[in-house]
Amino acid sequence: MGRHFLRFADGKENLMKLTDDLYAYEWKNYFENNCNSFYIGGSVQALIDPGLKAHLPGLLEQMAKDGIKKEDIRYVVNTHSHPDHYEGSELFSGTEVKIALSAAEMDFMTKGRGAYLYELFGLKAPKVQVNLVLNDGEVKLGEEIFRVIHTPGHSPGSVSLYWPAKKALFSGDVIFSQNVGRTDFPGGDGSLLKESIRALSTLGADYLLAGHLGFVKGGPNVARNFEFVMERIFSFL
Residue 169 confidence (pLDDT) above 50: yes
pLDDT (tens digit per residue) in 6-61: 444 544 444 478 888 999 998 776 666 679 999 999 999 999 999 999 899 999 99
Does the domain at 5-233 match CATH 3.60.15.10? Answer given as yes
Contact status, residue 161 vs residue 17, Cβ threshold 8 Å? no
Provide mean pLDDT across the span 150-165.
96
C-alpha to C-alpha distance for 87 and 91, rounded to whole angstroms:
8
C-alpha to C-alpha distance for 232 and 230, rounded to whole angstroms:
6
Upper half-sphere CA count for residue 109 (Cβ side, 13 Å): 22
Distances (CA, A) of 137 to 133, 140, 160, 203: 12, 10, 11, 14
- pTM equals 0.89
What single-letter amino acid sits at 44?
V
The candidate with the shortest Cα–Cα distance to 4, out of 20, 21, 28, 40, is 28
pLDDT (tens digit per residue) in 114-153: 788 888 888 888 899 999 999 999 999 999 999 999 999 9
The candidate with the shortest Cα–Cα distance to 223, out of 194, 192, 209, 202, is 202
Domain ranges of the chain: 5-233
C-alpha to C-alpha distance for 9 and 214, rounded to whole angstroms:
6
H helix count then E strand count, the chain: 6, 17
